[in-house]
Chain A
């Protein structure tokens, strides 16, 4: 499946991030706290799915890659596979990831690498995702006592998955430390405006950081894939 022009590792990493997070957001359908969020979360999920399809198609057949790889072959960040939890948890995951994705795509779009075309289109979508996550972080952080408590808890719980985003990825030509610095500045500012405390725990634990990119995932991920893949796998060779 490897071609000389497309960096397979990088395309799979970015494609799997988008695919897996899209799936998680799809789980919200019919469960959102307000009708407008049904629309917004589905919208973000659709954008990410669109990006995933482009990225996976650079490497091979999108459906083979999505439905027939096993857990150990997926290259997504552990952050995006985390279960939805409550709305604050989903928003914290979205804030961390969208900020990273926006900064990354902004840089890729400015370059002339193999992802420049995709990034130029996707960066507009991702700017919207980032804004949505920031607005909700402010509302939840600076809303009621309960919402602040939940938002803080979510930010703390997901913090340890954030270091992985800034590990170098083979074929992805970006200055990871600079990206990390920009990310910390932006997320830190949003959290402070939301009256929240920037978490202090480790971002690069021995196990969690870098593991998703190596195909080492958290336990809920296998179950997510089982659900996602079962129908496709039950009908080998069928088209849909």
Chain B
């Protein structure tokens, strides 16, 4: 299935729901000897590769774990600065896992709200009268589809660029939202959705054969 994530944003740009449907791929683990033969730097409280791309390790990848222990920002699991730790030749040989940095929940929330503004700007800058906001945004690696309901809620789906059947999926997500969030008496409007039943039904929707049939295999 090539649907990566689903986001929902309320009419004032607040974050309501987020769901990831992909596994982290393209992670590379490698054993290094002293001295380390790629250049690392600290970016956004993370250690990332700034130069030296090979063996599946790419520039921009973050350092995720050392000797199987997950790192904590720019510190090792036991609290040492990673950059200092890697300078010490007595720690070698060691095995390091590189991969794409995982988004924290705060980092997921920000682009959702940012897209809300982009959507509005898109409709304002339109040369044609009566234009909607951004409905689809395409890149090499994914497409971002957005459906805004009449009440102003935005449902956003990130998919593979070749994915079809998105309109049906967005419609289905809207139905699930209206059924399992709004009919829950303990859900307060426009607040984040944190209900187990909703999560279950939502995940179930990705397993419906009629939908997943035309969604094709993940790339």
State yes or no: do A and B come from one complex: no
